[in-house]
Structure 1
Amino acid sequence: MTAVHDDEPDSADRPRRPRRVARVLIDSPLPQLDRLFDYEIPAELVADAVPGVRVRVPLRSAGRVVDALLVEVGEPDASDRPLSQLEAVVSPVPVLTPALYALARRAADRAAGSAGDILRLAIPKRMVRAEKAWLAADPPSRPVIDEADRAWADGVLGAYPGLAEALDDDERLAVDAPPVPSTLGDGTVVGSWAILLAAAATHTLASGRSTVIAVPDHRDRAQLEAALAARIPADALVRDDAKQSGPTRYAAFLRTLADAPCVVIGNRSTVYAPVSALGLAALWDDGDPLLGEPLSPGVHARDAALLRQELHGGALVFAGHTRTTDVERLVAVGWVRDLPAARRVSPRVVLSANREGESRAARVPSSAFAAAREALTEGPVLVQVARPGYAPVLVCAKCRHPARCAHCGGPLHAARQGAVPTCTWCGRAAHAWACPECRSTLLRMASSGSERTADELGRAFPGTRVIVADGDHPVTEVDARPALVVATRGAEPRAAGGYRAVILLDGDRMLMADDLRIGESCLRWWSNAAALAAPGSPVHLVGVGGEVARALATWTQAAYARSELADRAPLRMPPTVRVASVDGPHRAVDTAIAALRAAVPELDGEAVLGPIAHDESVRALVRFDYGLGASVTESLRASVVSHAMKGRRAAKGRTPGAAHTLKVRVDVPDLDL
């Protein structure tokens, strides 16, 4: 038995030892858990429980242990409030930097979403072997850029007066890239835009700062990687790609956490790469829908880059062959500066139409046909089409009614001439198809896909190589020998020395799409294809007139974006205003809209469109000015959390599911109810 002295205070009267408190963000999709929770750090974990590490914590409401990220360690707490203890520290590597958490929190709040959803995109899953190899290896050394590469970078940037100085001064810039192909020293063909961004990254790395560049897809990333490979040390070039294996991607992520600066290139989530001393964030072709995040909360890479630059500094560059209305709006309000090239370079665009006496049904006018014939004596010719396949659309030969599948109602298509039509949705063959309108059993091809176009052009140019490039036939590069390259939009391969002619077909059909931004999208598709032509080679836009065609012919894409903004402003269309969609049960949507109007009385009477039925729920759209963004998103987020709390237990006889969930998406690109 231990002796107790009379002068020793009773244990109940002893002062409580201050506890170390960890504030963690729980990895959960539940919106009500999107906040920091306090946990006591047990004595045995004090050394390892540092900000940024992965931890395991008990979640009493669920009766289980869950993953979390330790955001910060609070001051010692001597209060008597009950706190659960950390269960374990999963990894000693602090994967969440303070800057990354601040960016995730800011992006989530702006989009009425959860910071955990952002961090799930930014931080790859832990790979134990890759992590152990990283911890055992020596830290990467600071990269050294030799004088020759510095001079090369400054020479490339010199084509844009003041660009190098603007990068050093952390400015926000919109840059129109040169629309010509380039050939590297090893013979690799890349776009001149890749050379420009590689020079900007090299210049920034030479100053001791990191660069983050986000591009739409692997084809763009490969060009940029090739342009950078010969200019910066290999260990300073980090590839961030969702298609990498888990260990490879996690090892690349760990490299970005090092103190040594680097250049990170990848897809949309690359804008969150937690590099040290960020000097430049750049986006190539921000109008490409691949840079829009489909997962909640749906923050576009452009918006994430803008928030990151505002929070942490560094230069920001939007580069492209065209100018999106989103970036042009930022230029108009003075938030982004337009930086033109010293010498304007543009392709030779020809607006081709059928001549007198030619059939209007002729798909390739005689002028474009003659240009292709002449160009094929020198090298490859690119033909851009709207759709892949042989005959993507079939109609009744008698009444022109669209041919639909009798089982699911999907559109029928033909894989080749004379083939049995099949459904594009369910894949069933329509052996005994009959038109529901006129009962005719004859079908007509209403459109030509890439394969049918290649078949037709192959007969028109006998003895010529024909190459199909689309989703089913990926081709990244072709040689300089004569060939007809038939490609769908966005799948055009690069040609050695550039194409000797480019023919843009189906433009009128592309412009018919029911999309607010279809003119903007078409101009981007056509401009990117035109940029693949060799200098001086003709680019024929077939059968299209109007403002968008003139913008391509005069290479004034920024002016077209300005005119689009002017047209949308009176109608309060995005991006002149921000638009949020609210989906869910009718009562929940009505409650959220009522709460929003009470919280933000500045909203006018026409701010809300709907709600109308949408699938199994209803949808309403909210239009609001940028200055009201914080108030609107805060109110909508509060409604989401409130609805989630009420729905924790599904009503008796009702199955919980997506139809009973209130969802909010901010900055939707179109007014699509």
Structure 2
Amino acid sequence: MSASARVARVLIDSPLPQLDRLFDYRIPPELIAEAVPGVRVKVPLRSAGRVADGMIVEVGDAGGYTGVLSDLDSVVSPVRILTPEVWSLARRLADRAAGNASDIVRLAVPKRQVRVEKAWLAGESVEPAEPVHTVAVPGFDTARFESALAGGERLTVDSVPVVVEVPGGRWVGHWATEMAAAATLALARGGSAILCVPDYRDQEQLVAALEAVLPAERVVHLDARQSNPDRYRAVLACLGETPLAIVGNRSVVYAPAARLGLIAIWDDGDPLHVEPLSPYVHARDAALVRQEQQGSALIFFGHARSTEVERLVELGWLGEVGPERSYQPRVIPTSQQAGQDRLAARARIPSSAWREARSALEHGPVLVQVARPGYAPRLSCGTCGQTARCAKCDGPLGLRSARAVPSCGWCGAIAAAWACGNCEGTKLRLVGQGAGRTAEDLGRAFPGVRVIIADGERPILTVGSEPALIIATRGAEPVAAGGYRAVLLLDGERMIARESLRVGEDCLRWWCNAVALAAPGATSVLVGVGGALASALATWRRSDYARSELADRRRLRFPPAVRVATVSGGEDDVQRAVESIAGIERVDVLGPVELAAGGVRAIVRFDYGEGAPVASALRAEVIRNATNRRKRAGGAAGRAPLPTLKVRFDDALSFDNTEQVLG
């Protein structure tokens, strides 16, 4: 091949780990002008004459290479959809998590929409955008945020726990106005702001706050609920030169923004920030890497600090920012149980909470947070008391409403002709109280009061200021106009009984987010919980609890004091993977243990400094497992078995009781 020939280095769109590298292709003379970094292309594969989709990452000369390269098949689109900063981020995160860069690029770059693309290309020369006017960050020293944006600093912010009204009559959490004000500071400096929130409820609040301080054309929505055309249109808008406020859920951290001024994340402890697809990268980790690569500011907003953020604070990697004046909600913990209080036995709440709610209902709505949706989250055998299980998948049975037929909480199968596997009894008994049953009980305790249920099946974003009981599952609480006149936190003892490494910080985060919806001076009652968690909530010293929790994790070598990797698959494959990291210092292995679904699982613990060699070694084993598959003896077409070895880094559920491990 001529030394002057042009070569394209292409990332092939494939989930196969052995193809997770750049492939060189000769650029035909007729494609020289079109084949530039970032465009979509089609390239030939040697096997079976197939043509694969890909994206050009780099273009260069052949150099001293004298072999024969295949030619690019075609350039699909002239749009440079894969920007250098997104590719660099994808490669770094994939290497850190022993995954495929193409899997991350697939999250960042939606499928092509031809009509949307043509319209965008035709309208590229648009009029200059309306200028941005900065606003002060309410409740905080704005100069501190300005210096952070100027210096590319990393901060954690304790948000003000109140709700506020924005123009248009919409009530939102104060945190939304804080993030919106920080975005105006970034845009005024000529940089875009990426604003990441857990779900659509938070996004609705943030967008309302942004539209109050920014021109509409400066706000871009980018989330998984959009249609493919809308999502593609939003990504194309981010490719322009105009600084934007880019709002979305976890995948928004991959939005193209060459001039990035700010990355802000709300409530980083929410599990919705964890990407459920390989390589399972948390939005917080992606933001930390991207901030380091592009030099932007990074701010974590929240009411309760995660242990991961607390670790970074203690290392000096994050600075701390609090409001200008102290905000301490009025929280009353009570450990009264149903057996000690006749009202609690009948209406689920102790007398003290009932009195607070009755008084508050004279002035406005009252929020009641419960742990589970449905009517009875769990059923048991009426004879022996053993948990009622589905005959199809062994999942727990429950009731969605008072008149519903018992069904499985996992597969949804109706429990027709159910019989207990322990005593063969056929009668079912209600165990636990979901949102529906709680609404019935409180409806009797407060006759004549309107009762509203808000959960995953009945999403409600806002409620008015009229008196009403709002029964909401954790995370589904609506925002009330003017704030709730009282907040009752029920099922606390059930929430903390969950077998999870993160149960304490999760409960504190759920409760803090609910308390922050109360009106100034309103009372919040935490029912049935005492100890350190209740003290942290009542005194509003959440960082003290995170600090104590992190200290305990350090003593036990649990994350985030150390990193972990979950290795699962066939027994021999897992054993070889574990042996591949045996020589690395400060690495220890828990297991392997058998899985209910078959195969085994091992948990690898290692220090942060050993992350690169551990990821490299495990990645090599994943590739070896995928490429060295032997054909089955006989069978249809002699197909090779699928690779069984799977590796997941920083899995938040590694130490949880998920009922998937035998023994």
Short-chain TM bin: over 0.9
**Aligned-pair distance for 1:403?**
2.0
Which residue of 598, 611, 616 corresponds with 2:592? 611
Q: Does 1:365 align with 2:350?
A: yes
Say whether 1:463 aligns with 2:444: no
Work out the CA distance in 2 between the residues paired with 1:176 and 1:425.
Answer: 37
CA shift at 1:663, angstroms? Answer: 1.2
- 2-side partners of 1:646 and 1:446: how far apart? 50
Change (3 A) 1:157 1:109: farther
Q: Is the 8 A contact 1:608 1:623 kept in 2?
A: yes
**Contact 2:37–2:59 (Cα < 8 Å) also in 1:** yes
The aligned counterpart of 1:189 is: 171
Which residue type is aligned with residue 174 of structure 2? S
**In the alignment, is residue 486 of structure 1 matched against residue 471 of structure 2?**
yes
Match of 1:497 among 476, 482, 489: 482
TM-score, normalised via structure 1 length = 0.93
**5+ residue gaps, structure 1:** 1-14
1:528-547 mapped onto 2 (5 Å cutoff)? 528-547=513-532
Find the partner of 1:60 among 46, 54, 78: 46
SS in 2 for 1:619: strand
How far has the Cα of 1:358 moved from its partner? 2.1
In the aligned structure 1, how far is the partner of 2:184 from the partner of 2:143? 17
1:627 is aligned, of 609, 614, 624, to 609
Deviation, structure 1 residue 23: 0.6
Instruction: Point out where structure 2 has 5 or more consecutive residues left out of the alignment.
Output: 656-660
What is the rounded CA distance, in whole Å, between the counterparts of 2:164 and 2:632 in structure 1?
60
Q: How much has 1:470 moved relative to structure 2? A: 0.7
Superposition map of 1:330-479 within 5 A: 330-354=312-336, 358-359=341-342, 361=345, 363-417=348-402, 420-430=405-415, 432-479=417-464
Q: For 1:227, what is the secondary structure of its paired residue?
A: helix
Q: Report the counterpart of residue 103 of structure 1 in structure 2.
A: 89
SS in 1 for 2:582: helix
* Structure 2 CA distance for aligned equivalents of residues 648 and 118 of structure 1: 29
Partner of residue 38 from structure 1, selected from 16, 24, 34: 24
Distance (Å, rounded) in 2 between the aligned partners of 1:488 and 1:289: 16
Is it true that 1:27 corresponds to 2:13 in the alignment? yes
| Deviation (angstroms), 1:156 | 2.4
Amino acid aligned to 1:319 = F
Q: Specify the alignment match of 2:646 in structure 1.
A: 663
- Residue identity matched to 2:226: Q
Does residue 232 in structure 1 map to residue 203 in structure 2? no
Aligned-CA RMSD value: 2.0
1:597 and 2:589 are equivalent in the alignment: no
- Residues 583 and 620, structure 1, Cα contact 8 Å, conserved in 2: yes
Q: Deviations over 1:472-510 (max 9, x none)?
A: 111111111000000111111110000000001000001
Give, as a single letter, the amino acid of the residue that structure 2 aligns with 1:397.
G
How many residues align? The count is 650
Q: 1:211 aligns with which of 193, 201, 222?
A: 193
State the match for 2:100 in structure 1.
114
- How far apart, in 2, do the equivalents of 1:262 and 1:429 lie? 49
Match of 1:173 in 2: 155
Equivalent position SS for 1:516: coil
Q: 1:276 aligns to what SS in structure 2?
A: coil
Q: Which amino acid aligns with 2:35?
A: A
Q: Which residue is equivalent to 2:535? A: 550
Please give the residue correspondences for 1:81-92 in structure 2 after superposition, counting only pairs within 5 Å: 81-92=67-78
1:113-132 → structure 2 map (5 Å cutoff): 113-132=99-118
Partner of 1:525: 510
Provide the residue aligned with 2:546 in structure 1: 561
TM-score when scaled to structure 2? 0.94
Please give the per-residue CA displacement for 1:159-188, whole angstroms capped at 9, x wherever unaligned.
466222222211000001111011112110
CA distance in 1, matches of 2:524, 2:142: 25
Structure 1 pair 49/341, CA: closer, same or farther in 2 (3 Å)?
Answer: same
Q: 1:290 aligns with which of 272, 279, 282?
A: 272
Which residue number in structure 1 is paired with residue 233 of structure 2? 251
- Answer yes or no: is the 8 Å Cα contact 1:55–1:86 preserved in 2: yes
Q: What is the aligned partner in structure 2 of residue 305 from structure 1? A: 287
Pairing of 1:638-657 with structure 2 (within 5 A): 638-647=620-629, 653=635, 656-657=640-641
Contact 2:197 2:203 in 1 (8 A): yes
The residue type equivalent to 2:252 in the other structure is: T
Q: Is the 8 A contact 1:201 1:280 kept in 2?
A: yes
CA distance in 2, matches of 1:511, 1:377: 32
Deviation at 1:409, TM superposition (A): 2.8
Structure 2 partner of 1:580? 565
Matched, 1:509 2:473: no
Q: What do residues 281-303 of structure 1 show as CA deviations (whole Å, max 9, x unaligned)?
A: 01101111111001000110000
Q: State, as a whole percentage, how many aligned pairs show the same letter.
A: 56
Shift of 1:244: 1.1
SS of alignment partner, residue 503 of structure 1: strand
Tell me which amino acid in the other structure corresponds to 1:610: G
Shift of 1:589: 1.4
Structure 1, 387-396 or 509-518: larger mean CA deviation: 387-396
Letter in 1 for 2:100: S
SS in 1 for 2:301: strand
Structure 1 position 433, deviation (Å): 4.0
Larger-gyration structure (1/2): 1
**For the residues of structure 2 that align with 1:555 and 1:532, how far apart are their CA atoms?**
15
Q: Compared with structure 1, are the counterparts of its residues 480 and 642 closer, same or farther at alpha carbon in structure 2 (3 Å cutoff)?
A: same
Deviations 1:318-365 (A, max 9, x none): 111110001100111111111122212121101123399625746200
Shift in Å, 1:56: 0.3
Q: What is the one-letter code of the residue matched to 2:69?
A: L
Query: Given the superposition, is the C-alpha separation of residues 245 and 405 from structure 1 closer, same or farther in structure 2, using an over 3 Å criterion?
Result: closer
**1:261, 1:277 within 8 Å by CA — same for their partners in 2?**
yes
Residues in 2 aligned to 1:587 and 1:440: alpha-carbon distance in whole angstroms: 43
Aligned AA (1:613): E
In structure 2, C-alpha distance between the alignment counterparts of 1:307 and 1:392, rounded to whole Å: 40
Native 8 Å contact 2:569 2:601 kept in 1: yes
Q: Describe the SS at the equivalent of 1:351.
A: strand
- Residue aligning to 1:11: none
Q: State the distance in 2 between where 1:357 and 1:613 align.
A: 44
Question: Does the 8 A contact of 1:160 with 1:340 survive in 2?
Answer: no
Structure 2 CA distance, aligned partners of 1:379 and 1:398? 44
